[in-house]
Amino acid sequence: MTAQAPAPGDQPILFVRDVHKHFGGIQAAAGVDLEVGRGEIAGLIGPNGSGKSTLFNLVAGMETPDRGQILFDGHEIGGKKAYTIARLGLARTFQIPALFENMTVSGNLLAAAAEGHWHGAQQRADETLALLHLEPVANNRASDLSGGQQKLLEFGRVIMRQASLILLDEVTAGVHPNIRKIILEAIARLREQGTSFFVIEHDMEMVRNVCDRIIVMDSGRVVTSGAFEDIVQNSEVMQTYLGRPQ
Ligand SMILES: Nc1ncnc2c1ncn2[C@@H]1O[C@H](COP(=O)(O)OP(=O)(O)OP(=O)(O)O)[C@@H](O)[C@H]1O
């Protein structure tokens, strides 16, 4: 079947159709179909190895799809370079923060702005420090931060890019509840300002609190999507999700 792109003006921020990606004999994406709406916070869940990170890598330009269509904000981005996609307004975090360890916290934020929109960077850095409660450590080296603070800074670097869609890869995993709360409040604030989010999460509490809609992946495909309550009431899905090692 030919993938049918939505009409302009009616477009979701992210539109993925029939995307495939294999690694040797492993089909990591086996015909992925999904959308993320404008202003939406969509959660992506699924067992280990179901293809969530591969999908993020395909969307963010770290991997090239074998076939299929990926539209971001109306632009075909499948197979495009990561920096090209970033310039279009898509940003992502990594499970392990990718920071400039010898630079200060402020320096890391400004460096992120230098990669994209420099205008007003100092003011945005100050606002981001306040939003993420990083003001007291603004002049510390990134390497001196706790693991949780490094996750905050990684998120801060994404915020500095003023992206219209942010991909968050387990951004609250293993962090202190106080830091988790700061991250959740920042997500809510950014969403009020119109930012869309696509979030990989194993923490079902986070998924329930934050996401408007949940997309469930298994074996390289989307098996269902819907409101959290509908998803957890679907015993087949929950068995798929919970019946395997997380
Ligand atoms: N670069 C790669 N080379 C070979 N195999 C890969 C590569 N990346 C992913 N895979 C395989 O593709 C499948 C999907 O992996 P992926 O990391 O996308 O799943 P995931 O849902 O993100 O898992 P997790 O929850 O553990 O992060 C797995 O079988 C994995 O081993």
**Per-residue pLDDT reduced to its tens digit, 140-195:** 999 999 989 999 999 999 999 899 999 999 888 888 999 999 999 999 999 999 99
Question: Is 246's C-beta closer than 6 angstroms to any atom of ligand 1?
Answer: no
Q: Which two tokens stand for residue 124?
A: 């945005």
Task: With beta carbons less than 8 A apart as the criterion, state whether 22 and 86 touch.
Answer: no
User: What ipTM does the predicted assembly reach?
Assistant: 0.97
Does ligand 1 come within 6 angstroms of the Cβ of 64? no
Banded model confidence at residue 5, pLDDT cuts 50, 70, 90: low
Predicted structure pTM score: 0.90
pLDDT at res. 8: 52
Residue 2 CA to residue 215 CA, distance in Å, equals 23
What is the number of domains present in the chain? Answer: 1
CATH number at residue 80: 3.40.50.300
- What per-residue confidence (pLDDT) applies to 1? 39
Q: What integer pLDDT is reported at residue 174 of this predicted model?
A: 83
Average pLDDT score over residue span 199-211: 88
Check pocket membership of 48 for ligand 1, CB cut-off 6 A.
Answer: yes
Q: What is the pLDDT of residue 203?
A: 83
Domain interval for residue 157: 14-242
Classify the phi-psi angles of 139: left when phi > 0, otherwise alpha if psi is within -120 to 50, otherwise beta.
alpha
| DSSP annotation of 141 | B
Does the residue 1 lie in any domain? no
Q: What percent of the chain has pLDDT over 70?
A: 90
The answer to the question of residue 5 being in a domain is no
Identify whether 189 is part of a domain.
Answer: yes
Average confidence (pLDDT) over 223-236: 84
Pick the atom of ligand 1 nearest to 49's CA.
Answer: 19
The stretch 22-45 carries a mean pLDDT of 96
Q: At what angle do helices 147-160 and 177-192 cross, to 10 degrees?
A: 10
Pocket test for ligand 1, best of 20, 22, 44, 53 (most atoms within 8 A of CB): 53
Decide if 120 is inside a domain.
yes
The confidence score (pLDDT) of residue 246 equals 41
pLDDT the model gives residue 4: 52
Q: Is residue 180 situated within a structural domain?
A: yes
pLDDT above 90 for 205: no
- The number of the ligand 1 atom at minimal distance from the alpha carbon of 29 is 14
Domain assignment present for residue 6? The answer is no
Give the closest residue (by CA) to ligand 1 atom 1.
23
Q: Is residue 8 part of a domain?
A: no
Residue 46 Cα: closest atom of ligand 1: 21
- Is position 2 within any domain? no
